[in-house]
Amino acid sequence: MSRPCINEATRGSTGRFSVSDDLRFYLAYNLHMIYFLWFVLIALIVSTTTSLALILNETWRITIRRGVPAVSSSWPVVDKVIKAQVFPREGLILDLGCGTGWALRRIWRAGYNGPFIGYETALLPYLVGRSWNWITRAPVKIVRQDFSAAPFEKAKGIYLFLLPRMLPEVGKMIATKSRVGTVVVSAEFAIPGWEAEKVLEARGVTARQAKIHVYRVKAQES
Ligand SMILES: C[S@@+](CC[C@H](N)C(=O)[O-])C[C@H]1O[C@@H](n2cnc3c(N)ncnc32)[C@H](O)[C@@H]1O
């Protein structure tokens, strides 16, 4: 059956056809396309809403409930740590709560030999970090696990940029699990009760002149 021409189909008894008749005719003949577009629109809405819900859930879980925002250290802070050469060139460097792992990648690019391992529990920075590692071919391992599982006893250097309220407990963990002499760098916030070997300054995330606290693990007093 041949498809009627628009003019024939829509011309009424008066012999004239209107724009609305034309449109109705067009819609009737293209219903399948309209259903398909509806399907695409609904799929887009569902996927966007699901992604937003995941991001909000992740933000809630990490940023609000646990109170640790996935904010990266500032470039000047990491560059200062590199320029001051506080970490040994050889040996394992850990980032406790590494976010996307960019600080470790920057240290690697500056010529450090590593190995480098970052621990991160939040899904989004973890996925972004893994993707960047793949794109840049950086030999930085990012583990989606609580940093209490890190191999502290093998580390030569430990980097952290965490909220002050976490630092007393993290300080105890580092002191009991790490080897004497391990270099510990706490960006922007001091570890309570620890005596810094050096305090550097650079423009940070929380302050124009943020402090970078450099420590060395000491023998435990018994
Ligand atoms: C402020 S960001 C620092 C990111 C990175 N270290 C940097 O300097 O660019 C802190 C990160 O620590 C992560 N974090 C907090 N507690 C953690 C834990 N117990 N184990 C692993 N990651 C943790 C958070 O999800 C957040 O991404």
Same domain, 80 and 149: yes
CA of 68 to the centre of ligand 1 (A): 7
The answer, yes or no, to whether any atom of ligand 1 lies below 6 A from the CB of 68, is yes
Given a contact cutoff of 8 angstroms between Cβ atoms, the answer to whether 73 and 87 are in contact is no
Domain region containing 151:
75-216
Q: Residue 59: its pLDDT value, please?
A: 63
For atom 18 of ligand 1, the residue with the nearest CA is 146
Specify whether 101 is located in the same domain as 203. Answer: yes
Give the distance (Å) from ligand 1 centre to CA of residue 52.
Answer: 21
Domain boundary among 65, 100, 121: 65
**Residue whose token pair is 């003019």:** 7
Tell me, yes or no, whether 118 and 91 share the same domain: yes
State whether residue 199 is helix, strand or coil.
Answer: strand
Based on the fold, state whether residues 83 and 61 are members of the same structural domain: no
Query: Residue 53: what residue type?
Result: A
Q: Is the CB of 97 under 6 A from ligand 1?
A: yes
Q: What is the pLDDT of residue 55?
A: 74
Question: Hey, which of 61, 75, 121, 158 would you mutate to test ligand 1's pocket, going by the most ligand atoms within 8 Å of its Cβ?
Answer: 121
Measured between alpha carbons, how far is 174 from 164 in angstroms, rounded to an integer? 15
Per-residue confidence (pLDDT) for residue 167, from 0 to 100: 95
Please list, in sequence order, all residues whose beta carbon lies within 8 angstroms of the beta carbon of residue 181, skipping any fewer than 6 positions away.
216, 217
Domains in the chain, number: 2
Does 221 fall in a domain? no
User: Does the beta carbon of 120 lie inside 6 Å of ligand 1?
Assistant: yes
Same domain (yes/no): 18, 96: no
From ligand 1's centre to the CA of 100, what distance in Å?
A: 9
Report the chain (222 residues): mean pLDDT per 10 consecutive residues.
47 59 74 83 93 74 59 92 96 96 96 95 90 95 96 97 93 96 96 95 88 93 66
Instruction: Look at residue 70 and tell me if it is in a domain.
Output: no
Indicate if 83 and 177 belong to the same structural domain: yes
CATH number (domain holding residue 178) = 3.40.50.150
